[in-house]
Structure 1
């Protein structure tokens, strides 16, 4: 792995080590999008903080195998004891970075903040005296250096590039600059039937914009990897924003298409000072594009991404709308299994639109769920495998017409309209408020999944085991009232759960009781098949009800 350009700002107030969880929670509250007054405490960000961070990592993961080391830590492949799944565990030694904890805070903060199909999924973290462990999904299909040597299909290369651009568009819309985009930090995850997906990883150098900061000039630290660093990052006199990532994207794409650096034919032989001079003042080389027979649309995209002036540079959403990326057809498998014609959420609507009647019904019903029901759905949705929620992901992408990586209120309204329904503004506000669990004014991917997934997912053995293990915070083998309160933050909600689940009256919920509770919960939610008019919809009389 490439060493990072070692000019990181080291804030003096971070010298004494603080409690990591508390620092990250405070930093999250200061984000430009976050509104704690509007958010709930059962959004996925809040749920990440409920487990005891000082629990032993080795009690949850086994069979650790080292995959590699970087500038700030090591990465291991590890097997989850609970589910048997393989995950990636990144170890950041606190003793090595005690005087510069900003990188540790930044990575954990970004992982908790970001939820998108093309950003590596974060599961949990563990804190020890000497190290912190970040657990994410395992992407074992190689990195983007494979794209100009190991993957021959140009359409698949284009799709994987688009995956990363989608991730960037989402990050930038949520005020996150990655600042170290390169081949090693864009991984490929392989799933069923050779289905490859691009994922962005390693947010150790990232920054999240705070309230009041200008989106174009809120950064000034000199960070990154020298081959991919943007001109404005090199120039100390120029404050910069998220478009530094778009330059790095352009460099990656140029190398993929030509096997050369855009600013120098022998960039790998140049010392840092000389390379930086070429990046700052040299012209973007056109001959390698001609020799590699790069088509017009790709060359135009590169020209727009490699503008030296960030004000003139194309942003990530613009790149997604460019002809080279916008016209590519995604032929990758959508589902692990073919959609069943008996599935009420797919029947009659799947062939017309990824947005089904069943999804919209559950979307509107979500506001009627209790705090515990929303928390459980959010946890199960977050831990769902990509292939099991593929149709929900496709519907999410379909509704995201702005290509920002999240859904606005108007996009939700349009989704309801696509299924032939109309909804009053007051009802729409109520629906959207329930979906926007973290109060950002946007519906994130995990929030969408929690609201639209089928309730039967709660009754699977895997889901029951994972949620029970999560709620058993003290790892005593049962769920106590104080553990429920730590998650739900409401005594009334705790009492309601105990009334439903504590069948032997000992004020505790054991695993057998919890299994019954979850299965009953799945049945109850599945039966909340409300008529559209009770959900606030106006529906023409001629429309059929048999798909609801």
Structure 2
């Protein structure tokens, strides 16, 4: 239920929208807006890498979402391209949505985080240090490190830290020392402001690392043309969400590739907003959620289901 709790507290055009929650004794149905463009990770594989304006348009929306989450004292803790969804098939106007808030943490001002979680290639140094010290901790700036990793990947098509790197330096050491390289064959056409932003995000010491607010003020992000396009896309999403909240519900037919994964008492028609398709995540109970004991016992034995409007 941690993901539901977090999603109920947020409303931002670049964060996946929670449409409804249906709680049954055996299953928890989380109804989310449909991201028909798939994962950003898949788009990167398809494209190899993005040119600079494309990368900036995607990054602006991701950073804006993180600025919003951090303003509400929410740390995502597992930010990566697999957890960034695209809600549009139009590559010229990508609609970017942060998702998978299961590891997110709502903290009070001044609270530090101590749970070891996340995906290895995107972990900030302070998270790794914390795993080997009872006194270490971290803050929301771990998300800013992850943003630096994502930006590096968007511009080059490769991760800055990985086990397969030549030289035999362990992944842990690479991260703890910010041991990465702007390879000429990958970054010769990338502007100096873009590389400057990466450098200021991949700082080992959190105090030296840019915050989400500072990222949005960086000269590379403040590109007038790209920021205007991003703000236009975000406004369209805000208007869509506003319209959706006022529309009447109507029956939706459930379409699933694996219907046998559904409980026998699963309803055949679930209510959802009429203005757009949605997706349903089925979360089985009594499965450990992750290493964060604060998140509760539910998790991710997920079954993705598309809901489409029933024709009259």
TM over 0.5, shorter chain: yes
Q: 1:226 aligns with which of 114, 120, 131?
A: 120
Match of 2:5 in 1: 109
Question: How far apart are the structure 1 equivalents of 2:230 and 2:153?
Answer: 28
Larger Rg: 1
1:157 aligns with 2:55: yes
- Relative to its length, the structure with more strand (as a share) is 2
Query: 8 Å contact 1:142–1:188 — kept in the other structure?
Result: yes
Q: Give the alignment of 1:472-511 within 5 angstroms.
A: none
Match of 2:239 in 1: 389
Query: 8 Å contact 1:246–1:315 — kept in the other structure?
Result: yes
5+ residue gaps, structure 1, are 1-104, 337-384, 391-445, 450-456, 468-548
Change (3 A) 1:179 1:234: same
| Secondary structure, aligned partner of 2:94 | strand
Match of 1:324 in 2: 220
Query: 8 Å contact 2:62–2:97 — kept in the other structure?
Result: yes
Question: How far apart are the structure 2 equivalents of 1:241 and 1:224?
Answer: 14
- Relative to its length, the structure with more helix (as a share) is 1
Query: Shift of residue 274 of structure 1?
Result: 2.7
Change (3 A) 1:310 1:257: same
Query: Shift of residue 283 of structure 1?
Result: 2.5
Q: 2:249 aligns with which of 466, 472, 492?
A: 466
Question: How far apart are the structure 2 equivalents of 1:242 and 1:301?
Answer: 18
CA displacement 1:65-124 (0-9 Å, x = unmatched): xxxxxxxxxxxxxxxxxxxxxxxxxxxxxxxxxxxxxxxx32111110110000011111
Change (3 A) 1:255 1:135: same
| Secondary structure, aligned partner of 1:195 | coil
Question: How far apart are the structure 2 equivalents of 1:131 and 1:269?
Answer: 48
1:170 aligns with 2:63: no
Change (3 A) 1:170 1:132: same
Q: Give the alignment of 1:12-411 within 5 angstroms.
A: 105-145=1-41, 146-147=43-44, 149-150=46-47, 154-190=52-88, 195-210=93-108, 213-215=109-111, 218-236=112-130, 237=133, 238-264=136-162, 266-267=164-165, 274-288=170-184, 291-330=187-226, 332=229, 386=236, 389=239
Query: Shift of residue 464 of structure 1?
Result: 5.5
Question: How far apart are the structure 2 equivalents of 1:246 and 1:288?
Answer: 25
5+ residue gaps, structure 2, are 251-312
Query: 8 Å contact 1:187–1:200 — kept in the other structure?
Result: yes
CA displacement 1:336-374 (0-9 Å, x = unmatched): 9xxxxxxxxxxxxxxxxxxxxxxxxxxxxxxxxxxxxxx
Change (3 A) 1:290 1:137: closer
Match of 2:265 in 1: none
CA displacement 1:214-241 (0-9 Å, x = unmatched): 15xx101100001111110111232111
Query: 8 Å contact 1:258–1:288 — kept in the other structure?
Result: no
Report which structure shows greater RCO (CA 8 Å, sep ≥6): 2
Q: Aligned-residue CA RMSD in angstroms?
A: 3.5
Q: Give the alignment of 1:427-466 within 5 angstroms.
A: 463=246, 465-466=248-249
State the number of aligned residues. Answer: 245
Question: How far apart are the structure 1 equivalents of 2:29 and 2:167?
Answer: 36
Question: How far apart are the structure 1 equivalents of 2:106 and 2:208?
Answer: 23
Query: 8 Å contact 1:122–1:137 — kept in the other structure?
Result: yes
Query: 8 Å contact 2:74–2:104 — kept in the other structure?
Result: yes
Query: Shift of residue 252 of structure 1?
Result: 1.2
Question: How far apart are the structure 2 equivalents of 1:193 and 1:274?
Answer: 36
Query: 8 Å contact 2:156–2:186 — kept in the other structure?
Result: no
Match of 1:404 in 2: none
| Secondary structure, aligned partner of 1:135 | strand
| Secondary structure, aligned partner of 2:62 | helix
If the length of structure 2 is used for normalisation, what is the TM-score? Answer: 0.68
Query: Shift of residue 388 of structure 1?
Result: 8.0
| Secondary structure, aligned partner of 2:38 | coil
Q: Which moved more, 1:257-266 or 1:245-254?
A: 257-266
